[in-house]
Amino acid sequence: MTQQLITFEIADKRLGVDIMAIREIRAWTPPTPIPHAPSFVRGIVNLRGTVLPVVDLSDRLGWDAIAPSPRHVIIVIQIGEQMHGLVVDSVNDIVTIEPSAMQPPPDLGGGASARRLAGLISVEDRMVMVLDLRCMAIDSDAMLADAA
């Protein structure tokens, strides 16, 4: 059974997520900062009455933090019952892949970035890192412990 992914860019890196988790793609909106939030949480925005945490995906993956500008977008995803906004540079395309096309991420010593990947695929001769969204959820208990 094929799977559809939305691919997007952060700096020169191409990533993808399962299209079924995406609720919408919105223009950059500056979020309201939250005290004692992890560094990768830019803040929150109001999405039609729902408080949406906005995550700097680059920072969350252990890369350089993004300096958002009006050209950035927020991909709204649903992980379980919670919605999150992921700040990315741009959205590229919808791709359809066969399960056999997904390669497991290499074991490079257990870095945090690799643990957040479901796998890797090749699209138009470029590697796309497919995110494991279950590992991307913001752990509210950990946030509270960090704030104490």
Structure confidence by residue, pLDDT tens digits, 128-148: 999 998 877 776 444 434 444
36: left (phi over 0), alpha (psi -120 to 50) or beta: left
Handedness of CA 75, 97, 64, 58 (dihedral sign): positive
Residue pLDDT, tens place only, 4-48? 999 999 989 999 999 999 999 999 999 999 999 999 999 999 999
pLDDT of residue 114: 60
pLDDT of residue 98 exceeding 80: yes
Residue with tokens 């979020």: 31
Average pLDDT, the chain: 87
pTM metric for this prediction: 0.85
* Phi, psi (rounded to 5 degrees) for 61: -90, 0
User: How does DSSP classify residue 115?
Assistant: H
**How far, CA to CA in Å, does 124 sit from each of 7, 92, 102, 108, 121?**
12, 12, 14, 25, 10
